[in-house]
Amino acid sequence: MPWLFESSFGFATDPYRYISKTCRQLRSDAFATRLRLRRVICMTGEESARVFYDERRMRREGAAPSRIQNTLFGQGGVQGLDDLEHRHRKALFVQLTTPEHANRIARIAEGWLLRYARRWCEQRQVVLYQQLPEVLTRTVCQWAGISLREDEVRCRSAQLTALFDDSGNFGPEHWWSRVNRIAANRWASQLVKRIRSGEMDLPPQAPAAIVAQHRDLAGDLLSSQAAGVELLNLLRPTVAVSVYLVFVAHALHRFADARRFVDSGTDTAVHSFVEEVRRYYPFFPFLAAIVRKSFQWHGFRFSRGRHVILDLYGINHDPRRWNDPNQFQAARFEHPGHCPFHSVPQGGGDVRTGHRCPGEPVALELMKMMTRFLNQSLTFQVPREQDLTVDYQRLPALPKSGFVMEEVHLRSNSSVFDHASAMTAGRH
């Protein structure tokens, strides 16, 4: 296996493209290196993804760096579990991210988006990424059964956003993420306690109640702290879809052919477009695991206990699997048939038995809703005096300007809003 002495600087300066770029230079799908003095193996390609998601070979417990565990995931969350314990906990999230739940979340989000768009019509400029986390915080809390006071919304939105927007940074931003993790854990665990005591009266089918009453393999309730972490693991990923929604706007603006493609509004066209957004744009750069037991693969030795990093962005741009991978092709996903290791923006493999993100249906429905909203229900100008270059050094990557809009107007024929707006009524 090719060996590089140290790769910390490469990861820091180009976290999304470093692995695939290095693999091309080494003419190998894997190489060994060090990250902050720890020996790791970096992998890219479909075959590598199959190895990475083979639970007989890899485990997740202890794989995530402590700085990510203490911010993005939270201690004791489902991402760090393995085997039966993982599948049992994962079933909780699969249960709450079905197409029916995803559709409801999208309808609620559309109602809130309408309310915010009416405000945008009165503003000279709107930075989309500054607005969407609050929209999705309101959305996911309403769906989960969590009532937020009006003076609480901004605080909760900032906390949930900091968990994913600052966790991968260094210095003050990372410590800000840790501070918000502590505060969010406290809030979520208190919610769990209030639900269990009956102080917070929720129907048993409310998502927040289902999480609060979840039991482990032994039949015991999770601790309020652990249940709070999992409640945040339900809320945070939905707010993080803000990143994808900004990329939806970016793609519609940048690629005229894509906008014409989705003009029809057909489900097939819109679905293909948003799948291509997920493939083309950066979201998660990579994932980590630990070798469970030593094995050989393509002449490479994977020693027990070695950390392994899988290159998600590179797999989504692998020229061996994608025709013109660096070109945005809105019709690329018109015809189904891609295997679960071809396109891996939110992980690969089987969502029920493996570590693939269960929130994909929610992300897809929110992105479809946003595509139709921007393309059919809103008019706006995109000022030239902004930097729409995607910042690949940022985690998560985003257009440097956050996507600025001007002269925002709602179309007069938006009767669909009557139903969407009603979804946000009676939320308390």
d(CA 257, CA 182): 45
Pseudo-torsion of CA 298, 302, 308, 309, nearest 10°? -20
Enumerate residues 6+ apart whose C-beta is below 8 A from 198.
Answer: none
Query: Three-state DSSP class for 215?
Result: strand
d(CA 212, CA 186): 14
DSSP letter string, 98-136: SHHHHHHHHHHHHHHHHHHHHHHTTSSEEEHHHHHHHHH
Annotated binding site for heme, which residues?
Answer: 357
d(CA 120, CA 113): 10
Q: Find out whether 343 and 279 touch, Cβ atoms under 8 Å.
A: yes
d(CA 63, CA 79): 10
Report CA-CA distances (Å) from 96 to 79, 99, 206, 353.
16, 9, 10, 16
d(CA 108, CA 306): 44
Annotated binding site, which residues?
Answer: 357
Q: Find out whether 33 and 7 touch, Cβ atoms under 8 Å.
A: yes
Q: Looking at the DSSP assignment, which residues form a beta bridge with residue 126?
A: 405
Q: Find out whether 367 and 241 touch, Cβ atoms under 8 Å.
A: yes
